[in-house]
């Protein structure tokens, strides 16, 4: 279990945000869509989906995609350009002091799928150049290498493959690199492209919604998949202040833990998620009473949403009884479940909730579970400043994660 951060450890702040999602290119497009309370999910266009019923998905269908470049690379390029521009990173932020940590579950699977399928049906022989490129780019780490090359990052580069907690754990690992003095700054986040292969897997295990994705709703019956790339620039507080950067928030703590009870199903009582949240509290020095907003995983599946509520009930029991239970949002009804990008997407909107004083709504949810303060309808403005957000994610294999961010107020008092 992590100990509270030492005063001598470099403090980690967020200075840049970049995103591509079903809502459009750019963080503002996503924020506007989110706060409207309207879903960006639509009938599938990327492949013939009639055999699956009438499923919805969060495809980035607005992109002017280049057919000669991997889709995941194009998502990453757009998100990276926005994040670096937002952070004001230039030549001075290149080199050995800059690292990259990204999360993804499948990498560039869309381009690799038909080529691998074709190779399996042809006589053995020397593969063509396009087959070699597809194999090289399919590696989940290929996206990380591309971001490192374009960002001029010669420091450590790592790829986290933990399904739906991949990018939140990537943020935790990025912060650890900075706190240990390995890097001065890190590009961190995640990416996922929408594919028939992954979609079919979710269909086969009965995890997809029959219609709208309804997080934490009594009528929920499954999730919907999405795609996107979400990147954040993390750096030391001293680095950001020295160059006069705009600081969004400080990453105070993180945790990840496994319950490992089933290949896909979560622990019904959310014990792994509870441990991950407690680790984040321990590292940040905060507790349940210090949380102003909770961004939950909220896949819309029967078991995931129920287990999250179980974990929240134990963690926030006392706060709930005294009226200090923070408002809760689940964002996947808007963007779809972006798998490897989900944790970073939730992190970005948790940060924007703090900086803009707005609780994002949980779209498509009409009859929420339990006696919780789920934000529904449109974005809700807070009457008081929002200072600290907790973002949680869960994944297949019993993986769970939690991140705690604090709004930067210009003073930077330690927690």
Residue numbers annotated as active site: 164, 297, 337
Which residue in the block uniquely carries the two structure tokens 């008081």?
384
Q: What are φ and ψ of residue 327, in 5° steps?
A: -60, 150
Distance (Å, whole) CA 8 – CA 56: 49
Residue 223 has what DSSP assignment?
B
**Beta bridge mates, 187:** 100, 233
Q: Which contiguous run of DSSP H or E holds residue 189?
A: strand 185-192
Burial of 367 by CB count in 10 Å (0-12 exposed, 13-18 middle, 19+ buried)? exposed
Distance (Å, whole) CA 316 – CA 323: 10
Q: Which contiguous run of DSSP H or E holds residue 29?
A: helix 27-36
Q: What are φ and ψ of residue 124, in 5° steps?
A: -65, 145
Tokens linked to 50: 């009639």
Termini Cα distance of the chain: 19
Q: Which contiguous run of DSSP H or E holds residue 133?
A: helix 129-138
Tell me the torsion sign for CA atoms 274, 228, 193, 56. Answer: positive
Cβ atoms of residues 195 and 113 within 8 Å: yes
Cβ atoms of residues 101 and 160 within 8 Å: yes
Instruction: State the SS3 of 156-173.
Output: CEEEECCHHHHHHHHHHH
């Amino acid at each position: 279990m992590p100990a509270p951060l030492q005063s001598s450890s470099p403090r980690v702040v967020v200075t840049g945000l970049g995103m591509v999602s079903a809502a459009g290119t750019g963080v503002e497009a996503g924020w506007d869509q989110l706060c409207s309370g309207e879903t960006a999910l639509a009938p599938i266009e990327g492949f013939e989906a009639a055999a699956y019923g009438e499923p919805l998905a969060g495809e980035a269908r607005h992109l002017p995609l280049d057919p000669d470049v991997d889709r995941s690379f194009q998502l990453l390029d757009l998100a990276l350009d926005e994040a670096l521009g937002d952070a004001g990173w230039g030549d001075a932020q290149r080199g050995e002091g800059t690292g990259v940590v990204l999360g993804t579950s499948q990498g560039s699977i869309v381009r690799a799928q038909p080529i691998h399928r074709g190779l399996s049906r042809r006589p053995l022989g020397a593969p063509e150049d396009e087959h070699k490129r597809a194999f090289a780019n399919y590696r989940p780490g290929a996206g990380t290498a591309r971001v490192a090359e374009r960002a001029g990052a010669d420091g450590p580069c790592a790829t986290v493959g933990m399904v739906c907690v991949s990018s939140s754990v990537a943020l935790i690992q990025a912060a650890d690199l900075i706190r240990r003095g390995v890097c001065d700054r890190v590009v961190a986040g995640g990416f996922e492209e929408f594919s028939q292969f992954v979609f079919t897997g979710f269909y086969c295990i009965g995890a997809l919604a029959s219609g709208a994705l309804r997080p934490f709703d009594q009528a929920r019956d499954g999730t919907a998949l999405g795609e996107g790339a979400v990147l954040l620039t993390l750096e030391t507080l001293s680095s950001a202040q020295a160059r006069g950067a705009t600081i969004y928030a400080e990453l105070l703590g993180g945790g990840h833990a496994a319950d490992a009870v089933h290949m896909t199903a979560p622990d019904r009582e959310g014990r792994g998620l509870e441990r991950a949240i407690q680790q984040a509290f321990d590292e940040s020095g905060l507790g349940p009473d210090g949380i102003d907003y909770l961004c939950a995983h909220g896949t819309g599946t029967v078991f995931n949403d129920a287990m999250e509520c179980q974990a929240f009930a134990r963690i926030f029991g006392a706060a709930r009884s005294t009226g200090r239970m923070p408002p809760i949002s689940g964002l996947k009804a808007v963007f779809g479940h972006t798998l490897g990008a989900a944790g970073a997407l939730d992190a970005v909107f948790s940060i924007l909730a703090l900086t803009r004083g707005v609780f994002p709504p949980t779209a498509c949810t009409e009859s929420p579970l339990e006696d919780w303060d789920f934000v529904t309808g449109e974005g809700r403005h807070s009457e008081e400043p929002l200072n600290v957000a907790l973002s949680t994610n869960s994944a297949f294999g019993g993986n769970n994660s939690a991140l705690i961010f604090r709004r930067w107020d210009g003073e930077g008092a330690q927690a």
